[in-house]
Copies of this chain bind each other. A is one copy, B any other.
Amino acid sequence: MKSSMLALGLLLAMGAAFASDVPKKPAPTMQQILDASKPSDWRPLDPNNTLYMDLPNGRVVIELDPAYAPLHAQNIRTLAHEHYWDGLAILRVQDNFVTQWGDPQAEAEHPTHKKSIGTAKDKIAPEFERDIDPKLPFTVLPDGDVYAPQVGFSNGFPAARDPKTNKTWLAHCYAMVGAGRDNAPDSGPGTELYVVIGQAPRQLDRNIALVGRVVKGMELLSALPRGTGALGFYEKASQRTPIIRVRLASDLQPAQRENLEVLRTDTPTFIALVESRRNRSDAWYLHKAGRIDLCNVPLPVREAKSK
Chain A residues in the interface with B (C-beta under 8 A): 93, 95-96, 128, 143-147, 173-175, 183, 185, 198-203, 205-207, 218-219, 222-226, 277, 280, 283-287, 289, 291-293, 295-296
Chain B residues with Cβ below 8 Å from A291 are 146-147
- From A169, which residue of chain B is reached at the shortest CB distance? B287
Q: How far is the CA of A292 from the CA of B205 in the complex (A)?
A: 12
- Given A174-B198, A223-B226: 9 more A-B contacts, CB < 8 Å: A145-B146, A183-B283, A183-B284, A199-B293, A203-B285, A205-B287, A207-B285, A207-B287, A219-B225
Chain B residues with Cβ below 8 Å from A198 are 174, 198-199, 222
* B146 and A95 form a contact (CB under 8 A): no
* B292 and A146 form a contact (CB under 8 A): yes
Q: How far is the CA of A217 from the CA of B79 in the complex (A)?
A: 37
Indicate the member of A175, A219, A292 with the most B CB atoms within 10 Å: A219
- A291–chain B nearest beta-carbon distance, Å: 5
Q: How far is the CA of A218 from the CA of B232 in the complex (A)?
A: 14
Q: How far is the CA of A132 from the CA of B96 in the complex (A)?
A: 30
* B199 and A174 form a contact (CB under 8 A): yes
* A185 and B286 form a contact (CB under 8 A): yes
- Given the contacts A146-B144, A202-B293, A284 and B207 also touching, CB distance less than 8 Å: yes
- From A287, which residue of chain B is reached at the shortest CB distance? B206
* A173 and B199 form a contact (CB under 8 A): yes
- A303–chain B nearest beta-carbon distance, Å: 16
- From A289, which residue of chain B is reached at the shortest CB distance? B203
Q: How far is the CA of A200 from the CA of B183 in the complex (A)?
A: 30
Which of these, B202, B225, B283, B286, contacts A223 with CB under 8 Å?
Answer: B225
* B292 and A203 form a contact (CB under 8 A): yes
- A284–chain B nearest beta-carbon distance, Å: 6
Q: How far is the CA of A200 from the CA of B295 in the complex (A)?
A: 9
Indicate how many identical chains form the complex: 2
Chain B residues with Cβ below 8 Å from A293 are 146-147, 199-200, 202
Chain B residues with Cβ below 8 Å from A200 are 199, 293, 296
- From A279, which residue of chain B is reached at the shortest CB distance? B203
Indicate the member of A183, A198, A201 with the most B CB atoms within 10 Å: A198
Chain B residues with Cβ below 8 Å from A205 are 287, 289
Q: Please list the 3 inter-chain residue pairs (A to B) with the smallest Cβ-Cβ separation, ordered nearest first.
A: A219-B226, A206-B287, A203-B289
Chain B residues with Cβ below 8 Å from A147 are 289, 291, 293
Complex A-B: 23 CB contacts under 8 Å: A95-B219, A96-B174, A96-B175, A96-B218, A144-B146, A146-B292, A146-B293, A147-B293, A173-B199, A174-B198, A199-B199, A199-B200, A200-B296, A201-B296, A202-B293, A202-B296, A206-B286, A206-B287, A207-B285, A207-B286, A223-B223, A223-B224, A223-B226
- A82–chain B nearest beta-carbon distance, Å: 29
* B223 and A95 form a contact (CB under 8 A): yes
Which of these, B93, B146, B173, B285, contacts A143 with CB under 8 Å?
Answer: B146
